[in-house]
């Protein structure tokens, strides 16, 4: 009798977090946010680390100056007493995200910052709320965990882009115009296909042309590498078969990056992707060595059919793409452009 009751509970839990979703179904584009200075409500939340004092209010002021209404989720400015690298307990941070996912007036959700902690709340999120009312969810770095989980469990595209409170973010001291323009464009109104061109100072280097030649087509997954690794073997990892993987990280030594790529190889992920596009790996005293060594390292660990490109403006840098996570993309590796396909968001 006890065994039967436990199995029933298990079924309910699996249904609640969305394991029943058809993993082969195309991901859904969220509804668009109105263009800059045209209104729309942006919700702020802190799924990961705590924000420095005053930075959330500066972000609110910056967004309002851009014509947005702002809703700040509960615990956005919090800090966990026991673990001060978290912006609240797991329950509090999940509550903040779920509050915005369920809020009928929120048109887009912008994370305040990364850090650490998003992975701890993946089993507490309301994936059905995003699936039933898709809206842009934006963040990168540690927020990679949420973006991949939304793809796997909600079937909804999210966006890897600048956030709210960092120095070069929207509410920061020196926001980068290209980065912000990229964000508003890709989550905004407009017909498909939508094309993003690299910044003028960004030059792609082609190290290997795989089966796609100068053009690659597939689902695009821009990720912070260590966060992708953290989800291997979990139900929050989407299927990357045929995907174009864009990788970046910060503060990771070359041997640690080697170890992470080796894990991806041994798990079979690197055998299934169509391309690996290398962004920036910075924040150490061996940044130049890492950037020079990575292309060969990636080629050592992938089949000849996999395209390998470096120099992509994506990572912990001021000037960067905002890229949709899980969207169908056509990538021109000679021109350094992404063109995204899909239905116009309603």
| Residue-by-residue pLDDT tens, the chain, 346 positions | 333 332 322 322 333 444 444 555 789 999 999 765 667 999 999 999 999 999 999 999 999 999 999 999 999 999 999 999 999 999 999 999 999 999 999 999 999 999 999 999 999 999 999 999 999 999 999 999 999 999 999 999 999 999 999 999 999 999 999 999 999 999 998 888 999 999 988 899 999 999 878 999 999 999 999 999 999 999 999 999 999 999 999 999 999 999 999 999 999 999 999 999 999 999 999 999 999 999 999 999 999 999 999 999 999 999 999 999 999 999 999 999 999 987 644 4
Query: Which of the residues 182, 198, 252, 316 is marked catalytic?
Result: 316
Query: Based on the domain organization, do 272 and 212 belong to the same domain?
Result: yes
Enumerate residues 6+ apart whose C-beta is below 8 A from 327. 27, 29, 157, 219, 220, 340, 341, 342
229 belongs to a structural domain: yes
**Boundary (domain end) residue, out of 160, 187, 214:** 187
Asked if 181 is an active-site residue, the reply is no
Listed residue (137, 58, 119) closest to 322, CA to CA: 137
Question: Considering 46, 141, 158, 198, which one is annotated as catalytic?
Answer: 141
The question of whether 207 is a catalytic residue gets the answer no
CA dist list (Å): 313 to 201, 205, 265, 327: 9, 12, 24, 18
- CATH code: domain of residue 287: 3.50.30.60
| Structural domain total, the chain | 2
220 lies in the same domain as 321: yes
End residue of a domain, out of 156, 187, 218: 187
- Does residue 208 form part of some domain? yes
The last residue of one of the domains, among 148, 166, 187, is: 187
Catalytic residue among 46, 180, 182, 248: 248
Is the separation of the CB atoms in 284 and 188 below 8 Å? Answer: no
Pairing of strands 215-224, 205-208: unpaired
User: Is 113 a member of any domain?
Assistant: yes
Structural domain that includes position 200? 194-341
Tell whether 78 and 171 lie within a shared domain.
yes
Residues 63 and 150 in one domain: yes
- Residue 75 annotated to the active site: no
The answer to the question of residue 16 being in a domain is no
């Amino acid at each position: 009798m006890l065994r039967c009751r436990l199995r029933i509970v298990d079924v309910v839990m699996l249904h609640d977090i969305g394991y029943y979703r058809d993993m082969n179904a195309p991901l859904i584009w969220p509804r668009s946010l109105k263009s800059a200075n045209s209104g729309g409500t942006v919700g702020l939340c802190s799924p990961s680390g705590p924000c420095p004092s005053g930075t959330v209010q500066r972000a609110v002021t910056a967004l309002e100056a851009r014509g947005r209404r702002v809703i700040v989720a509960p615990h956005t400015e919090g800090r966990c007493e026991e673990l001060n690298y978290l912006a609240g307990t797991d329950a509090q941070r999940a509550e903040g995200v779920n509050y915005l996912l369920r809020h009928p007036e929120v048109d887009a959700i912008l994370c305040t910052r990364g850090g650490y902690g998003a992975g701890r709340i993946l089993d507490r999120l309301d994936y059905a709320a995003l699936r039933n009312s898709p809206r842009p969810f934006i963040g990168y770095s540690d927020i990679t965990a949420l973006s991949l989980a939304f793809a796997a469990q909600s079937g909804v595209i999210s966006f890897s882009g600048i956030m709210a409170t960092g120095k070069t973010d929207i509410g920061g001291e020196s926001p980068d115009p290209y980065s912000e323009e990229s964000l508003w464009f890709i989550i905004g109104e407009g017909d498909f296909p939508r094309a993003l061109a690299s910044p003028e100072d960004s030059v792609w280097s082609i190290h290997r042309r795989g089966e796609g030649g100068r053009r690659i087509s597939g689902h695009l997954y821009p990720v912070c590498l260590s966060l992708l690794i953290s989800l291997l073997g979990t139900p929050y990892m989407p299927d990357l078969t045929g995907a174009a993987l864009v990788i970046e990280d910060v503060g990771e030594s070359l041997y640690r990056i080697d170890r992470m790529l080796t894990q991806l190889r041994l798990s079979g992920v690197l055998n299934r992707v169509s391309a690996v596009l290398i962004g920036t790996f910075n924040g150490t005293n061996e940044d130049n060595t890492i950037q020079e060594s990575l292309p060969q390292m990636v080629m050592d660990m992938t089949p000849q059919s996999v395209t390998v490109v470096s120099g992509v403006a994506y990572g912990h840098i001021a000037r960067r793409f905002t890229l949709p996570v899980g969207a169908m993309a056509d990538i021109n590796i000679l021109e350094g452009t992404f063109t995204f396909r899909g239905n116009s968001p309603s």
